[in-house]
Amino acid sequence: MDEPDPKTGRTSRDLVPGNPGADPLPWPAADSDPADRATDQAVMDELRAVETTGKRSSLRDTIGLLVTKLTAAEREMRSADEAAAAGRLAGSAVGGEGEKRVFSAFKAGFFGGVGLLLAYMAYLSLDTIRSTLIVIAVAALLAIGLNPAVGWLVRRGLRRGAAVATVFLVLVAAIAGAVYAIVPPIVTQLTAFIGNLPSILSNLLDNPTIKNLDAKFGIIKQLQDSDIVKNVGSGAASGILSGAATVAGIVFDLFVVLILTLYFLAGFPQIKAACYRLAPASQRVRVTDLGDKILKQMGGYLSGATIIAIQAGLVAGLFSAIVGLPYPWAIALGAAVLDFVPVVGPIIVGVSIALIGFTQSLTIGIVAAAFYLCQHLFEAYVLYPRVMRRTVHISSGAVIVAILVGGALLGVTGALLAVPVAAGVQLIVREVVMPIQEGR
């Protein structure tokens, strides 16, 4: 008889499908791999052979035989897999050699040349609309800088349309006041200089040094007889026409900037939402959070810089009016504009006011230099940290590099736009690039 297993109490008959009490094993499964079905079929045939021939070997011997057969089948399957992998590798090598053989240098050169041509055409197109892009960039940055003021008015209960109108009217009034402060003195001085140029040359002979030089070399006589002085009227007329054309272009660009700023400011939430929708849906939450943070800090920086610049302009204008410097409100406007450029701007303002003071008297020059040194220390160490405490901090080195790069690319406009752009880039590096590097 077939002895039962001492551990399980079951015989080999219990393992054969079809016997009473046998396990319902799904041998072979219809949906299994062909190699597995073959192995299962072999095992089932062996079990049936044990039953039919009446072998009385122990269950341990049967299991050992099954393990041997399974090991042999596994080796055969592994050998087949290795052979198939070697065949695929050989086929890919042959295919790679075939691709190398059909490589066309003419095709590669042709498409490379087309790519270079398209890149050059794109560069020419961007260079053609360079001034337009600058106008759009200035308007966008103005809208970003004015949006915190609009948000402040909205939080005080004013509707957004009324808040935008209020902020825009204040901006227009400030620009009109600046034009009124700086244009009349320039026109007056330029007209007076052109009209008095011949008499100025004649009065130079009252100076002993100039008189001796004129006696030796005839400098004044040559200047008076030159075409420049004789044609100063016609030259001035052509210069005035050229200047008028330049002023007209500046006024037109300023008008376009104001109109674009108004549109950007009125539709700021919608424009921001549309830009965020360009990001993939899986990353949109992260992009929205980062974009809001960048816009908030750039807007805060521009608003704070505007407050500091207004303070600098008012202080420079009042000081100039008190000590008797010429055209104090033109000086105030220049100080306010230059103060938008950190580190470099205040230094230029202080040196300029000191030099203008020295043209009046030595005492006024010394007083102006000392006063503006105190003003700069107050602005840098008291006012600036308080106003900018909620905005992104930009190191002095980054500011200087940004100003140099912006000035080299776009001139004065690039120098003014460089600092807020550098603030946004620095925030992106801190919030995106550095965490990625730390996670590697």
What was the pLDDT predicted at 237?
Answer: 53
Tokens encoding 28: 């072979």
pLDDT in tens, 318-355: 898 888 887 787 788 888 888 877 777 888 888 888 88
Nearest Cα to Cα of residue 307 among 169, 133, 121, 174: 174
What was the pLDDT predicted at 24?
Answer: 47
Q: How confident is the model at residue 17 (pLDDT cuts 50, 70, 90)?
A: very low
Amino acid identity, position 187: V
Q: Is the pLDDT of residue 16 over 50?
A: no
Tokens encoding 32: 């299994």
pLDDT in tens, 376-427: 888 878 887 777 665 656 666 777 788 788 877 877 677 777 777 887 788 7
Give the distance between the most distant pair of CA atoms in the chain.
Answer: 147
Q: Is the pLDDT of residue 301 over 60?
A: yes
User: In this structure, what is the dihedral angle of CA atoms 395, 401, 404, 408, given to the nearest 10 degrees?
Assistant: -130
Stretch 248-265: mean pLDDT = 87
Q: How confident is the model at residue 196 (pLDDT cuts 50, 70, 90)?
A: low
Higher-pLDDT residue of 197, 419: 419
pLDDT in tens, 353-368: 888 888 888 888 888 8
Q: Is the pLDDT of residue 291 over 70?
A: yes
Is 265 buried (19+), middle (13-18) or exposed (0-12) by CB count in 10 A? Answer: buried
Q: Which of 45-49, 171-175, 399-403 has the lowest mean pLDDT?
A: 45-49
How far apart (Å, rounded) are the C-alpha atoms in residues 16 and 65? 15
Is 98 buried (19+), middle (13-18) or exposed (0-12) by CB count in 10 A? Answer: exposed
Higher-pLDDT residue of 179, 225: 179
User: In this structure, what is the dihedral angle of CA atoms 134, 140, 142, 148, given to the nearest 10 degrees?
Assistant: -160
Indicate the pTM of the whole model: 0.58
Higher-pLDDT residue of 164, 106: 164
Q: How confident is the model at residue 169 (pLDDT cuts 50, 70, 90)?
A: very high
**Which residue in this structure is represented by tokens 């002895």?**
3
Q: Which of 62-76, 102-116, 243-257, 421-435 has the lowest mean pLDDT?
A: 62-76
Rounded to a whole number of angstroms, the distance between the first and last alpha carbons of the chain is 68
pLDDT in tens, 52-89: 555 445 566 667 777 777 777 777 777 777 777 776 66
DSSP string, 81-127: HHHHHHHHHHHHHHHHHHHHHT--HHHHHHHHHHHHHHHHHHHHHHH
Nearest Cα to Cα of residue 5 among 85, 65, 59: 59
- How many Cα atoms within 13 Å fall on the side-chain side of residue 378? 10
Q: Element (H or E) spanning 288, and its range?
A: helix 284-323
Question: How many percent of the chain have pLDDT more than 90?
Answer: 3
Three-state DSSP at 279 gives coil
What was the pLDDT predicted at 103?
Answer: 65
Q: Is the pLDDT of residue 90 over 70?
A: no
User: Is the bond leading into 28 cis (omega within 30 degrees of zero)?
Assistant: yes
What was the pLDDT predicted at 240?
Answer: 61
Task: Check if the beta carbon of residue 168 is closer than 8 Å to that of residue 262.
Answer: yes
Q: What is the mean pLDDT of the chain?
A: 75
How far apart (Å, rounded) are the C-alpha atoms in residues 280 and 85? 39
**Which residue in this structure is represented by tokens 């990353």?**
283
How far apart (Å, rounded) are the C-alpha atoms in residues 406 and 342? 13
Q: How confident is the model at residue 1 (pLDDT cuts 50, 70, 90)?
A: very low
Q: How confident is the model at residue 157 (pLDDT cuts 50, 70, 90)?
A: confident
What was the pLDDT predicted at 57?
Answer: 52
What was the pLDDT predicted at 23?
Answer: 47
- Total residues belonging to the chain: 440
